[in-house]
Amino acid sequence: MNILQRIVKSIQEDLVLKKEIVPVQSIESSILFDRQTISLSKSILDSQGVIAEHKRRSPSKPNINFGLSVLEVASGYALAGAAGMSVLTNTQYFGGSLEDLLLARQACSLPLLRKEFIVDEYQVLEAKANGADAILLIAACLEKQEIKTLSELAKQLGLEVLLEVHNAQELEKSVMPSLDMIGVNNRDLTTFDVRLETSMSLIDQIPDTFVKLSESGLSSAEDVIKLRDCGYDGFLMGEHFMKTDNPGASAKNLIQSLKT
């Protein structure tokens, strides 16, 4: 069983208990459930396109940054001019939580992406109830019908959908009208190896009707410019900012350099 399969299995097991503790009716009665969402895709196109991420750890990096509060990070990203903020909500493998999403919502008015391994409609409802504006769906752990069901529910709730792919086969099975953004993850989720060439090789196969993102492994303005010249609109960056003492300042420096 590879890393991705282990993560999905643990999530499915956790969901059984979560559904008993917090029923759907409770989620739908949340104060934020009827909140008007902000368009992440529009924000990407209207800015330098940098989605800045909050991430404490990952399976390949057990300690990226546990010393900063989400409130600090979210406020810093907003001041930096980020197009949006990605919030890891997986606890076991990434050290995140839904509370992080709520705190980020409290701290800033940026469009928020719930970054999670979403495999169940319950998680889409959770995203809306905790202040998200968009959700991530990962093609590697979903069948085509599952992508359709989850993305259509998200659209009904006013959430945008970022579909993540790693290769041409995942892209081919996944393209559908209920998506807003398609992101190419340069990190292989089965091995966690990173290759920017993954984005370069898939750009021409992504239809122009979608906002195009490159994710993972971006560590400089030069990387972003290279990918922008290739045709990408957005750039999801987390570890590059989070490994510093001041992620907001790090994001601001990079975004300012993109402007010049």
Active site (catalytic) residues? 53, 55, 115, 164, 185, 215-216
C-alpha span between 25 and 116 (Å, rounded)? 22
- Domain coordinates of the chain in residue numbers? 3-19+39-259
CB 82 within 8 A of CB 248: no
CA distances from 213 to 119, 128, 179, 221 (A): 21, 22, 13, 15
pTM of the model: 0.96
**E strand or H helix at 50:** strand 50-54
Mean pLDDT by 10 residues, the chain (260 residues): 87 95 96 97 98 90 86 98 98 94 98 98 98 97 97 98 96 96 88 86 97 94 96 95 96 94
Please name the CATH architecture into which domain 3-19+39-259 falls.
Alpha-Beta Barrel (3.20)
